Amino acid sequence: MTVYETDLILYTRKGCSLCEKAEKLLLERQLPFKSVDIGRDVILEGQYGFDVPVLARGEVTLLKGVFSVARLEKIGL
């Protein structure tokens, strides 16, 4: 695992089934990430709204919406 891989942030919302599936997929692939509930932050809520789940590295959005193994592999994860 590189330091770069540990910088993943998964933006979620409580009660979001797609978010739960995305988190499960990341865990199954043993990808380290930090989960952030956007419902606790007005700015993040405005930024991501209904796009969650959103996987980001720093300020760069890598994926949003429905996650799959193929989509993760396409971005090198």
pLDDT exceeds 70 at position 4: no
Give the predicted TM-score (pTM) of the model: 0.88
**What are 51-69's pLDDT values in tens digits?**
999 999 988 999 999 999 9
Q: Taking the domain 4-74, which CATH number applies?
A: 3.40.30.10
pLDDT at position 6: 61
Residue 62's φ and ψ, nearest 5 degrees, are: -95, -45
Does 1 or 41 have the greater pLDDT score? 41
Task: State how far the Cα of 9 lies from the Cα of 63, in Å rounded to an integer.
Answer: 11
Contact between 9 and 33 (Cβ < 8 Å): yes
Strand arrangement, sheet containing 60-64 = 33-37, 8-12, 54-57, 60-64
Task: State how far the Cα of 65 lies from the Cα of 52, in Å rounded to an integer.
Answer: 6
